[in-house]
Amino acid sequence: MEALLTHRNSLASLSTDERREPVDLPLAGFARFVDFVAGSGGTSCVLTGGEPTLHPDIANILALARKKKVEPVVETCGVLLDEVAELLVAEQVRISWRLYHPRFYTEEERSRMLSAAKALGCPEAPLCVVVSASEEEDDYLWVEEFLNATACQQIVLRSLPSQSLAAKRSLAAWVVTAVPPILEAGGKLVLDCGLQACAFSDEAYGAIARQGVALQGCVPRPGVGTDLRVYHCREMTDFLGAPLNSFKNLDQLRDYFFRRHNELQWDYRFFPECPPCPSLRFANCQGPCMGLKARQLTVEAERLKEVVASDGAAGPLADLGRVLLELSRFSEAEQCLAEARRLEPSRGDVHLMLGRVLAELNRLADAEEEYRKAARLLPGGDGVLLEWAHRLRERGKTMRARRVVEEARKLATELAEGGDGPSR
């Protein structure tokens, strides 16, 4: 698990977003985070940002993590203050090096970055290097130069959302040539989830697979923001979820994200080329990163708001409610769907979406009423009841869930026999 310590940056090209408050994760907040990690059985955590080494309490944060037997891993862009670099060397802190294309650095910043990499990356404590590929056309020689200049243990190749599919294919072609030397040197190569299987030809994918390099699926890699609200992964830091204290342990947090973003993960409305792609069937490809999808959904929400403002009919309201639900903006979604329900009370899909929203808001009595209405109005109402039973089970309502499952089975039998279903 990771903690986003600060939104400050040390690279001139990566400006600080002053609209975010608070800028830094308070030390007391970090203490709660590290207690959560330790209580979940975790033995390490990633400190990220922004530039986490610019946090004013970085020394105390490192000490606090180790006091709790949680080893900190600092993810840095490498443009470090001299005293911080000395601290990281003295404390032998594990480093994850976020490497950008040379255009992101001034000449002075790149010089300082390379010097720090040589000081911090040594055979006794090799670096993990996260290559952030962003260019449309690139030969990636800058990556090879960096890797040859310092000791690296693991290389993570991350294709940023700004890259087109053509650029991803260029990166994939370079990966095929880069894999053997890296592995022969004793390193480990990891392909981040932003690089989809469709970027590789069948021959290229087979080549890296034979080398033991696999693509990653879209799974929660959770962290906390500076206000201790949780996020699904690095690309979803703009779409924060519940407060950390809503969860007992990391397993419960992962389950929350599997449920919360399930529809978003499989939403291909903006990417019609994905569903017919063979990669989807054999490589667990889930399309472009969730952050890119979520940002496009945000634009769609703004468009639908304009439609609703000029035409407040149930249809546009339901469409807006569906998008807001997918974005986990539950309070706004409730307002839209409640109005759509008022205008067209016979729409089963609206009742179902409203039930899902109310369940997320933990208003279970209201949610159950909507689920039952949806089960009466939609074909295959037994499936609606089974979904409600699953929601109850997630919240520890096991006995109630069993009763609802029995109702669903009876309804399924009656529907199969051609009946109209029970009166509920």
Question: pLDDT band at residue 161, thresholds of 50, 70 and 90?
Answer: confident
For 388-420, give the secondary structure using H, E and C: HHHHHHHCCCHHHHHHHHHHHHHHHHHHHCCCC
For 45-59, 165-179, 240-254, 272-286, which range has the lowest pLDDT when averaged over its residues?
272-286
Question: pLDDT band at residue 418, thresholds of 50, 70 and 90?
Answer: confident
> What is the average per-residue pLDDT within 279-286?
64
What pTM value is reported for the model? 0.83
The answer to whether residues 403 and 397 touch, using CB atoms and an 8 Å cutoff, is: no
> What is the average per-residue pLDDT within 274-299?
77
Task: Measure the CA–CA gap between 195 and 169, rounded to whole angstroms.
Answer: 9
Average pLDDT value for the chain: 89
Question: Is the pLDDT confidence value at 280 over 90?
Answer: no
Radius of gyration of the chain (CA): 24
With CA atoms as reference, report the closest residue to 225 among 243, 210, 208: 243
With CA atoms as reference, report the closest residue to 283 among 350, 224, 204: 204
User: If you write DSSP's letter for every residue of 70-110 in order, what string do you get?
Assistant: -EEEEEE-S---HHHHHHHHHTT-EEEEEE--GGGS-HHHH
Task: Measure the CA–CA gap between 116 and 370, rounded to whole angstroms.
Answer: 58
Strand order, beta sheet including 223-224:
188-191, 152-159, 127-133, 94-99, 71-76, 44-49, 2-6, 223-224, 230-231
> What is the average per-residue pLDDT within 29-36?
97
**Cβ atoms within 10 A of the Cβ of 106, count?**
12
Question: pLDDT band at residue 346, thresholds of 50, 70 and 90?
Answer: very high
In 104-183, which ranges are E strands? 127-133, 152-159
pLDDT at 52: 96
Note every long-range contact of 394-397, with CB atoms under 8 Å and residues 24 or more positions apart, other chains counting: 394/255, 394/259, 395/362, 395/364, 397/364
The answer to whether residues 265 and 289 touch, using CB atoms and an 8 Å cutoff, is: no
Which residues, in sequence order, are CB contacts of 97 under 8 Å at separation 6+?
Answer: 75, 76, 78, 117, 120, 121, 127, 128, 129, 130, 152
Phi first, then psi: give them for residue 327, nearest 5 degrees. -85, 0
Task: Measure the CA–CA gap between 107 and 85, rounded to whole angstroms.
Answer: 19
Residues of the chain above pLDDT 90, percent: 59
Which residues, in sequence order, are CB contacts of 88 under 8 Å at separation 6+?
Answer: 53, 74, 80, 95, 120
The answer to whether residues 224 and 4 touch, using CB atoms and an 8 Å cutoff, is: yes
Question: Is the pLDDT confidence value at 19 over 50?
Answer: no
**Cβ atoms within 10 A of the Cβ of 379, count?**
8
Question: Is the pLDDT confidence value at 339 over 90?
Answer: yes
List, in sequence order, the alpha helices (H) in 191-278.
Answer: 202-210, 250-260, 262-265
pLDDT at 73: 95
pLDDT at 419: 55
The answer to whether residues 52 and 76 touch, using CB atoms and an 8 Å cutoff, is: yes
For 121-125, 208-212, 389-393, which range has the lowest pLDDT when averaged over its residues?
121-125
> What is the average per-residue pLDDT within 27-45?
97
The pLDDT tens digits for 394-405 are 888 999 999 999
pLDDT at 424: 43
> What is the average per-residue pLDDT within 159-175?
88
The pLDDT tens digits for 89-142 are 999 999 999 999 999 999 999 999 999 998 888 777 789 999 999 999 999 999
For 4-18, 55-69, 96-110, 272-286, which range has the lowest pLDDT when averaged over its residues?
272-286
pLDDT at 185: 81
Query: Three-state SS for 193?
Result: coil
Q: Which domains does the chain have, with CATH numbers?
A: 2-265 (3.20.20.70), 290-416 (1.25.40.10)
The pLDDT tens digits for 55-81 are 999 999 999 999 999 999 999 999 999
